Amino acid sequence: MNQAEERLLHPSPGSRIEAAREHGIDLTLLVERLRRTPEERVRDLQEALRGLEAVRGRARRIVERQLTNGS
């Protein structure tokens, strides 16, 4: 385990990282993301963007349909 992971998974008492954990932030997710290569992170973000664009497109079609039908 590298130093950054160690600090995130076992933060020092009174540190901001500990405060974040106490506030409910799941630091293991951050560690998981940091273990990925930059290329993997970009690919994950692109997949998420495609999913969001698909949802946005569906929502737009629903609104247009409602406006067309006078609802």
Chain segment 34-48, per-residue pLDDT in tens: 999 999 999 999 999
Distance CA 31, CA 1 (A): 10
Distance CA 60, CA 71 (A): 15
Amino acid code (one letter) for 15: S
pLDDT of 18 strictly over 70: yes
Distance CA 17, CA 5 (A): 11
pLDDT of amino acid 53:
97
Domain ranges of the chain: 1-35, 37-71
Judge if pTM exceeds 0.75.
no
Phi-psi region of 7 (alpha: psi -120 to 50; beta: other; left: phi over 0): alpha
Which band of pLDDT confidence, cut at 50, 70 and 90, is reported for residue 4? confident
Which band of pLDDT confidence, cut at 50, 70 and 90, is reported for residue 71? low
If you search the block for the tokens 């590298």, which residue do you land on?
Answer: 2
pLDDT of 2 strictly over 90: no
Q: Tokens in use for 54?
A: 């698909």
